[in-house]
Amino acid sequence: MDFLKKKGLVFTIDAFVALMLAVVTVYSLFLIYSVPESSGGAYMQAYYLAKDTLSALDEADCSGKTCLEQIGEAGLGASGGSVGGTPLDVAKAIIPEQYGFRFDVYDAQSGSWISAYDTATDPTSNHAKGMKKFEANAKSPVSGYSVMPSGMGGVNCGEGEVCAMPASTYNPGEIYVGLVRVSVYI
Q: Which is nearer to other proteins, 41 or 123 (CB)?
A: 41
**DSSP assignment letter at 171:** B
Over its C-alpha atoms, the chain yields an Rg (Å, rounded) of 30
Q: Which is nearer to other proteins, 5 or 124 (CB)?
A: 5
Q: Which is nearer to other proteins, 52 or 122 (CB)?
A: 52
Q: Which is nearer to other proteins, 1 or 124 (CB)?
A: 1
Contact 117, 82 (CB under 8 A): yes
Residues 155-174 that bind other proteins (CB under 8 A): 155-174
Residues 101-130 that bind other proteins (CB under 8 A): 106, 108-109, 111
Which of 8, 11, 17, 81 touches other proteins (CB under 8 A)? 17
Sequence-distant (≥ 6) Cβ neighbours of residue 97 within 8 angstroms: 126, 127, 128
Q: Is 175 in the site for other proteins (CB under 8 A)?
A: yes
**13 to each of 3, 10, 26, 126, 162, how far by Cα in Å?**
15, 5, 20, 57, 113
Which of 28, 89, 96, 133 touches other proteins (CB under 8 A)? 28
CA distance 67 to 96: 19
Task: Report how far Cα 100 is from the mean position of its chain's Cα atoms.
Answer: 9
The string of DSSP codes covering 21-46 is HHHHHHHHHHHHHHS-GGGGTHHHHH
Q: Which is nearer to other proteins, 123 or 158 (CB)?
A: 158
Question: How many C-beta atoms surround the C-beta of residue 162 within 10 A?
Answer: 6
Q: Rounded to the nearest 5°, which phi and psi values hold at 143?
A: -150, 160
Residues 35-64 that bind other proteins (CB under 8 A): 35-36, 38-41, 43-44, 47, 51, 54, 58
Residue 125: CB minimum distance to other proteins, A = 25
- Binding residues for other proteins, rule: CB under 8 A, are 6, 10, 13, 17, 20-21, 24, 27-28, 31-32, 34-36, 38-41, 43-44, 47, 51, 54, 58, 106, 108-109, 111, 138-145, 149, 151-175, 177-179
